[in-house]
């Protein structure tokens, strides 16, 4: 059976279209679990109406208090709901009719190759659209200059390559999501780190989701090969530095969470990467070179090297803010 986890918060405007797209899937052997994070608009009323209409398919709950962000709402659901296969779903996207079918086919194919006891994560490409579902880019993978076939831990530790709204994972991976970590950047990054370190990651290089890119979405898809983006990254190093600082912290927390299960090589990599903020500038660069923890893409890598070489003493993000 497949469980789809949908975290909602003030999504009244788009939630109906998303749920309707799930109800129109070519594969219908799933149940939809929706957890609302104390919305202040009509979201809870809308999803409750769907639950009444489809009582054997849709199950709705609401947090007693706001979880503190989508990542915590999702993580709570990922801890509470286990199944043979679990999928994550954003409230404002639209799933193409064969999304579940294609994702399920790919993960079952990988289970046949590696065994169902191996934690497996599969994700797909997306079509990036605007608020009105007009296409901005037919491929998120190309638009963001990512390579979904790069799945090693030394890459996964530096940046997230998995859009959670496209993800499906098996029970073996679901069972590893046991508690709320002391620190995570995002729930999907934590999920991909777990799969990279302890299992396998696969990709479907076809869009299965219309990924809504809002005008005020600062963390969404970017045309990273554009001159405009490269200029922006190199002139706003504080933002990149903050994200890199978070990746060091997350790596350390991840190591502590799974040190009893990690291989010796993975443990060494995670500890070395997490130690970077306390090193001198040239030692930072040596660690990154030794463990090949460079970010992917020219602009990201150039910014990373510049940040690594700022003066030592404080947290890297704080240094860049002060120097800027």
CATH of the domain at 106: 3.90.550.10
Alpha helices in 204-275 (DSSP H): 227-235, 237-258, 264-274
Residues 34 and 79 in one domain: yes
Residues 165 and 307 in one domain: no
User: Which pLDDT does position 309 carry in this prediction?
Assistant: 87
- Give φ, ψ of 253 to 5 degrees: -65, -40
Contact between residue 221 and residue 143 where contact means Cβ atoms under 8 Å apart:
yes
pLDDT digit string, tens, across residues 122-164: 999 999 999 999 999 999 998 888 899 999 999 999 999 999 9
Residues 202 and 239 in one domain: no
Residues 103 and 19 in one domain: yes
Domain end marker among 160, 188, 212: 212
Residues 61 and 207 in one domain: yes
User: Which pLDDT does position 223 carry in this prediction?
Assistant: 52
User: Which pLDDT does position 315 carry in this prediction?
Assistant: 53
Span 30-56, mean pLDDT? 98
Contact between residue 294 and residue 304 where contact means Cβ atoms under 8 Å apart:
yes
User: Which pLDDT does position 103 carry in this prediction?
Assistant: 98
Residues 193 and 256 in one domain: no
CA distance 189 to 132: 28
Residues 199 and 248 in one domain: no
| Boundaries of domain holding 317 | 227-323
Location of structure tokens 């994700």: 123
Examine residue 219 and state whether it is found in any structural domain, yes or no.
no
Residues 149 and 174 in one domain: yes
Query: What share of the chain has pLDDT > 70, as a percent?
Result: 90
Residues 84 and 200 in one domain: yes
Which are the contacts of 127, defined by CB distance < 8 A and separation ≥ 6? 135, 137, 138, 139, 140, 207, 209, 210, 211
User: Which pLDDT does position 303 carry in this prediction?
Assistant: 87
Angle (nearest 5°) at CA 227 between 223 and 232: 80
- Strand, coil or helix: what is 85? strand
Instruction: Indicate the number of domains in the chain.
Output: 2
pLDDT digit string, tens, across residues 95-115: 999 999 999 999 999 999 999
User: Which pLDDT does position 163 carry in this prediction?
Assistant: 95
DSSP code string of 105-126: HHHHHHHHHH-TTS-EEEEEEE
Residues 264 and 184 in one domain: no
Examine residue 221 and state whether it is found in any structural domain, yes or no.
no
**Enclosing H/E stretch for 140:** helix 140-143
Residues 119 and 238 in one domain: no
Examine residue 217 and state whether it is found in any structural domain, yes or no.
no
Residues 57 and 159 in one domain: yes
Domain end marker among 212, 244, 262: 212
pLDDT digit string, tens, across residues 194-221: 999 999 999 999 999 999 987 644 445 5
């Amino acid at each position: 059976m497949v469980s789809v986890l949908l975290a909602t918060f003030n999504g009244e405007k788009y939630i109906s279209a998303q749920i309707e797209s799930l109800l129109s899937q070519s594969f219908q052997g799933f149940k939809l679990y929706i957890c609302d994070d104390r919305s202040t608009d009509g979201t809870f009323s809308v999803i409750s109406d769907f639950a009444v209409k489809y009582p054997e398919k849709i199950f709705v709950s609401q947090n007693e208090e706001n979880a503190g962000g989508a990542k915590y709402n999702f993580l709570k659901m990922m801890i509470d709901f286990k199944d043979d296969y679990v999928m994550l779903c954003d409230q404002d996207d639209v799933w193409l009719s064969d999304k579940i079918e294609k994702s399920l086919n790919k993960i079952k194919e990988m289970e046949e190759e590696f065994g169902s006891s191996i934690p497996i994560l599969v994700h797909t490409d997306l079509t990036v659209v605007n608020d009105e579902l007009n296409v901005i880019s037919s491929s998120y993978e190309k638009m963001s200059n990512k390579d979904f076939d790069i799945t090693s831990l030394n890459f996964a530790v530096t940046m997230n390559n998995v859009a959670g709204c496209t993800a499906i994972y098996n029970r073996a991976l679901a069972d590893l999501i046991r508690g709320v970590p002391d620190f995570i950047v995002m729930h999907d990054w934590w999920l991909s780190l777990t799969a990279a370190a302890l299992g396998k990651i696969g990709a479907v290089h076809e869009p299965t989701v219309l990924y809504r890119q809002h005008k005020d979405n600062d963390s969404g898809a970017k045309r990273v090969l554009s001159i405009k983006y490269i200029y922006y990254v190199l002139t706003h190093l504080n933002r990149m530095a903050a994200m890199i600082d978070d990746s060091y912290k997350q790596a350390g927390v991840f190591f502590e969470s799974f040190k009893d299960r990690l291989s010796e090589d993975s443990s060494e990599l995670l500890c070395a990467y997490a130690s970077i903020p306390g090193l001198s500038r040239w030692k930072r660069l040596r660690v990154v070179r030794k463990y090949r923890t460079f970010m992917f893409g020219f602009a990201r890598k150039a910014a990373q090297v510049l940040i690594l070489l700022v003066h030592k003493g404080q947290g890297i993000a704080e240094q860049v803010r002060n120097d800027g």
